[in-house]
Amino acid sequence: MSSGDHSVQHELVAHILDSIDDAITAVDLKGTVVYWNVAAELLYGLRGAEALGMNFQDIFHNVWGEYARAIEQFNSRKIIAPYITRRERFDGRVVDVSVRLSPIRNDEGHLVGVSGIARDVTAQLQLERDRQELATRLLRVEEYVAKNIAADIHDGPLQTLIASSLRLRMLQKRLGDTESASIDAIYEAMTESISELRSIMFDVAPPALDSGGLIESLREYFERFHDLASDMTLLFESPGSLGLSKTEATILYRIGREAIGNALKHSGGTEIRISAQEIPEGIQLTIRDNGRGSEVLQSPPGHLGLTTMVGLARRSGGDTVIASVVGEGTSVTAWIPRSEN
């Protein structure tokens, strides 16, 4: 290929790189800028003609350490995963950027520099922060309503039923055996209603969640409804404290409650295993049963259990994966990001 052909080819490559929306930069092993495309000019507020030949750390203060570590890893033939960080533009404005670093090697395969591809994600991250803040506010409203409902039940119908059942017992003592059987039936119905109201109070506002007690709340929920499958046992794996916030514990409790309820009612298994752990994305909760499983995952008519579990996690910025194998059971794995407050 002639020198003229090389020149045309290089010019074509330069035009292609300048037409790309992502900021593309390159530095040699000393940190000198050797390439700076048009998108980099727009993102970082510095013209390419000015950037070329400058030292990278003179453009981005306290950033050269990232590239020094990248050079070490590329020399060891390691790959660096894309990451999100912050960059201070040449005019002092700070932007959030998604960065992918790649090695530049010569024909002999020796490392001669590092290229960076960056994209401004400031707007996307702000939208995500706004969404999380809205989800947190909505959850707090739901918690407030739930606590008020529980308080109203406790102070109103529950107290009325308890007082009425006591009066009924006193009345029974004054009446003969003929009326006693009828009164027993009424008393039993009232006692059952009292128990149901207490369960509703616990269900909408478990006391342990006030201190982030996810595991304790799930255990209490299981014990309250254990009569649905008396042969089933509940096992916790890695049940140590995760230091959950009230928001995190509430979201995961609601997901876990649905999963436990489904297992008790429909799985036909003998055990439920629960694990909660830190993962890079946030907090992960897994509920597995060893029941009959199913080929088709769907909620029973009139119920929204599966939709509820998925929606709760996604609304908070996470996700839920539900898997079932016939003869092996069902697993629900939900993760949510760490809340900022």
**Average pLDDT of span 183-191:** 78
Cβ(26)–Cβ(115) below 8 Å: yes
| Total Cβ atoms within 10 A of residue 150 | 21
Rounded CA-CA distance 254/323 in Å is 18
State residue 186's pLDDT score.
79
Alpha carbons within 13 A on the beta-carbon side of 260: 28
State residue 92's pLDDT score.
85
Q: What is the dihedral of CA 25, 31, 33, 39, to 10 degrees?
A: 20
Residue 7: pLDDT band (50, 70, 90) is low
Rounded CA-CA distance 275/270 in Å is 17
Task: Point out which residues pair with 234 in neighbouring strands.
Answer: 272
Q: pLDDT per residue over 194-251, tens digit each?
A: 777 767 766 666 766 766 588 888 888 888 877 777 788 999 886 566 788 888 888 8
Structure letter (DSSP) for residue 15? H
Cβ(120)–Cβ(21) below 8 Å: no
Q: pLDDT per residue over 261-284, tens digit each?
A: 889 888 889 999 999 988 888 899
Alpha-carbon Rg for the chain, nearest whole angstrom, is 31
Rounded CA-CA distance 51/34 in Å is 8
State residue 116's pLDDT score.
92
In the block, which residue shows the tokens 């070329």?
A: 52
Nearest to 232 by CA among 173, 190, 278, 288: 288
Cβ(31)–Cβ(56) below 8 Å: yes
State residue 303's pLDDT score.
47
* Most confident region among 18-22, 97-101, 216-220, 297-301 by mean pLDDT: 97-101
Residues above pLDDT 90, as percent of the chain? 26
Q: At what angle do helices 246-262 and 122-153 cross, to 10 degrees?
A: 70
Is it the case that residue 10 has pLDDT exceeding 50?
A: yes
Minimum mean pLDDT among 60-69, 185-194, 285-294: which range?
185-194
Task: Point out which residues pair with 333 in neighbouring strands.
Answer: 286, 321
Nearest to 335 by CA among 285, 287, 288, 278: 285
Pairing of strands 271-279, 233-237: parallel
Q: pLDDT per residue over 76-99, tens digit each?
A: 999 999 999 998 888 888 999 999
In one-letter notation, the amino acid at residue 174 is R
Is it the case that residue 75 has pLDDT exceeding 60?
A: yes
Minimum mean pLDDT among 23-27, 177-181, 231-235, 251-255: which range?
177-181
Rounded CA-CA distance 189/27 in Å is 79
Q: pLDDT per residue over 142-170, tens digit each?
A: 776 767 777 777 677 777 777 777 777 77
Is it the case that residue 27 has pLDDT exceeding 90?
A: yes
Q: Is the pTM of this model over 0.85?
A: no
